[in-house]
Structure 1
Amino acid sequence: MSGPAALEQAREFADQLAPLGPVKVERLFGGAVLKADGRAFAFVADGMLYLRVDAETRDAFTARGSVPFSYPTRKGRVEARSYFEAPSELFDDPDLLLAWTRAAIAAAGRAAVRAPRSRRRPSPMA
């Protein structure tokens, strides 16, 4: 899936998530990222929607057979275990999609609390 197609698909997901409030869609490599309150909670790559997970939500994904996002490198495949493929049943049930997306947004929020942005060092030229 090309970047423009991924952006379009991400915008369609964002439209479905309108009851949750504003969702921003941005380009991400060959895909697109979805953000709420400035935090990435999902992305679209290769025609798939991936949702943010953490220790509190990961088991629900694995119980439904979802797999983490992965990509090939010269040394083999790398798994990004913070994002799992959205279970297919979410796309048949708008309420279920909203519930799982709320959980992904919460996981993104918890991750932001655990890993605060580093402070910028003052310039030695100042």
Structure 2
Amino acid sequence: MTSEATRGLALDFASQIAPAGSIDIRRFFGGSALVRNGAQFGFVMKGTLYLRVDEAMRAEFEADGSEPFSYRAAGREVTVRRYYAVPAHVIDDPALLHS
């Protein structure tokens, strides 16, 4: 997925989450970060929306089969448990994504 396509997808998700213009989209490694009031709360990487989760949200996301963000670095797998992929049924339902 190109950086332009990733940015477009991030803009689409941002418009579903909050009113237009209230979420900034910034470059984030190979993807796009979603930032509100100066704090990053999510990102789009390789076509997947990841959101920052707390303990309660993590349990819900895991129950829905979501995986934490991970990447390979220096020959090993790194898992970032602060960010989880948004479950497919949430992506498919704008009302759930907004809440």
Q: Could you tell me the TM-score, scaled by structure 2's length?
A: 0.91
Q: Which runs of 5+ in 1 are unaligned?
A: 100-126
Q: Write out aligned runs for 1:57-72 (5 A).
A: 57-72=57-72
* Richer in strand (by share): 2
Partner of 1:49: 49
Aligned residue for 1:43, secondary structure, equals: strand
Partner of 2:28: 28
* Richer in helix (by share): 1
Partner of 1:79: 79
What is the count of residue pairs matched by the alignment? 99
Partner of 1:39: 39
Per mean C-alpha deviation after superposition, the further-off stretch among 70-79 and 40-49 is 70-79
Query: What amino acid sits opposite 2:31 in the alignment?
Result: G
Q: CA deviation at 1:20?
A: 8.5
Does the CA contact (< 8 Å) of 1:42 and 1:83 recur in 2?
A: yes
Q: CA deviation at 1:78?
A: 0.3
What are the Cα deviations for residues 50-106 of structure 1, in whole angstroms up to 9, with x where unaligned?
01012231100000000000001123110011000000001221111112xxxxxxx
Q: CA deviation at 1:3?
A: 1.8
The sequence identity of aligned pairs, in percent, is: 43
Distance 2:3 2:92 in 1: 25
Distance 2:21 2:54 in 1: 22
Aligned residue for 2:91, secondary structure, equals: helix
Distance 2:3 2:21 in 1: 25
Q: RMSD across aligned C-alpha pairs, in angstroms?
A: 1.6
Query: What amino acid sits opposite 1:62 in the alignment?
Result: E
In the TM superposition, structure 1's runs of 4+ consecutive aligned residues that sit over 4 Å from their partners are none
Say which one has the larger Rg: 1
Query: What amino acid sits opposite 2:52 in the alignment?
Result: R
Q: Which runs of 5+ in 2 are unaligned?
A: none
Distance 2:29 2:20 in 1: 26
Aligned residue for 2:69, secondary structure, equals: strand
